[in-house]
Copies of this chain bind each other. A is one copy, B any other.
Amino acid sequence: MMEKEAVILCAEKEIEIRFSEVDMMGVVWHGSYAAYLEDAREAFGARYGLSYGKYIEENIFAPIVELNFSYHKPLRYGMKPVVRITYRPTAAAKLIFDYEIVADGEVFLKATSVQVFMDRDYQLLWDAPAFFLEWKKEMGLL
């Protein structure tokens, strides 16, 4: 079934940059951003009812299989950036998110993550699990 492209699901999360996330160069260490994106996925899940607890309950993993970062400008200690997460519609049994970290009207980072669904034995599910299709319907994506 086609996804309805008009529906845009997105969320925002303000990042509090930790001193421990900043490197010797005085900028946020590139590896620290993975946690910011995870914060954004949680904010998305909280907003749209797709929480981590839901997966646990359904005995489903949704591990990240692709993660791409494009660093535009370095974040510094004391900044108050916002990470925006947007659901990217796909017919595949995948969960794809696009991210932007923005501060003072400028883009600091763009990123994309791809998650798949696995059962408890870490076997890939070729079809999206029922609870996820249900969620898509509720969201007006199907």
Give A residues with C-beta under 8 Å from B. Answer: 16, 18-20, 22-27, 29-32, 34-35, 38-39, 42, 52-53, 61, 63-71, 74, 77-78, 122
Asked if B34 contacts A34 (CB within 8 A), the reply is yes
A19, closest chain B residue (CB)? B38
State how many copies of this chain the complex holds: 4
Which secondary structure dominates chain A's binding surface?
mixed
Complex: A22 Cα to B35 Cα, angstroms: 12
Whether the Cβ atoms of A23 and B25 lie closer than 8 Å is no
Collect the chain B residues with CB atoms within 8 Å of residue A64's CB.
30, 69, 71
A69 in contact with B66 given A19-B52, A30-B34, A39-B18 (CB within 8 Å): yes
